[in-house]
Amino acid sequence: MDALTRTARSISGANLSSRLERLNTGDEVQRLSDTLNEMLARIETAFLGVSQFTADASHELRTPISLIRTEAEIALRKSRDPAEYQEALSHILHEAERTSALVEKLLTLARADAGRESLDMRRLDLGDTVREVANDWHHVMATHQLRFTESLAAREVCIAGDKTAVSRLLNILLDNAVRYTPSTGSVELALETKDETAVIAVRDSGIGISNEDRLRIFERFYRADKARSRELGGAGLGLAIAQWIVEQHRGSITVVSSPGKGSEFIVQLPMSPANR
């Protein structure tokens, strides 16, 4: 017992991989030390997750911040025409906007991890939400020369959900569809029902996702093509947030894709009992 106490006292954040002595006494002391070791393993995993998140977040923030800094330093090196200052400032503004969006995503995930991102679950008419979100995208789709269609279930589809979060989920999937579909392609947003489940599908005719990447795209900071995704403004956080929103609604999100042909993201959410 004294040896266990000594080891337990010495364990801190700096040596979380340490474990209490393995005992073979077959009694309650062994059960206690095994249980404490299992608890340490869980704490270590959580701790490593937080450290990794901090490291990845800092790495992601470094690129836009150094771009902003370099742009400003070059602009200030000598006196310039107003047009040149204007161009430099608009680059800086563009990068600053991207950085704000990134920080906002990081905050959502950090709050979600801490259990502080609370959703306001109410009876929500998914048809209305899908229609409203789709309305905001017609113009963007046209600008990118994409054919955009929406199809809605004939019946009313209600879930217990947070309207802002569900809209954000749809926006993430549509934003990806636009970014990964070359112009003259097509994007479809559909709301269907299957038994007691609402099924939202976002289909695109874009670049698709390989089998290997498909298994990892919901991981934080994962991008199938880092260079291309960063150029398109992505940090690999959208789908992690989408998955968190779906989980909060007790649903599931899956993807079917063939490289070069397109992708389909399918969200299934349980419908409200009154709607069944």
Which stretches of the chain bind ligand ADP, using CB under 6 A?
176-177, 180, 204, 206-209, 217, 222-225, 229, 234-240, 263
Q: How far is the CB of 128 from ligand ADP (least distance, A)?
A: 24
Please tell me the distance from the alpha carbon of residue 265 to that of residue 270, in angstroms, as a whole number.
17
* Cβ closest to ligand ADP, residue 208 vs residue 251: 208
Q: How far apart are CA 224 and CA 236, in angstroms?
A: 9
Q: Which is nearer to ligand ADP, 152 or 255 (CB)?
A: 255
Residue with tokens 């992690």: 240
Q: Which is nearer to ligand ADP, 161 or 234 (CB)?
A: 234
Please list the residues that pair with 264 across neighbouring strands: 203, 256
Nearest residue relative to ligand ADP (C-beta): 234
* Token pair recorded at residue 179: 């970014």
Report the nearest approach of ligand ADP to the CB of residue 63 (Å): 13
Residue 126 or 172: the one with the smaller Cβ distance to ligand ADP is: 172
Task: Give, for 188, the enclosing helix (H) or strand (E).
Answer: strand 186-194
What Rg value do the Cα atoms of the chain yield, rounded? Answer: 24
CB 3 within 8 Å of CB 29? no
The Cα–Cα gap between 228 and 235 comes to 11
Give the whole-angstrom CA distance, residue 140 versus residue 209: 23
Least distance in Å: CB of 136 to ligand ADP? Answer: 18
CB of residue 126 to ligand ADP, shortest distance in Å: 21
- Residue 236 CB, shortest distance to ligand ADP, in Å, is 4
Could you tell me the smallest distance in angstroms from the CB atom of residue 217 to ligand ADP?
A: 4
Output 174 or 198, the one with its CB closest to ligand ADP.
174
Of the two residues 20 and 199, which places its CB atom closer to ligand ADP in the complex? Answer: 199
The first and second tokens of residue 92, run together, are 């800086």
Q: Which two tokens stand for residue 193?
A: 């029902």
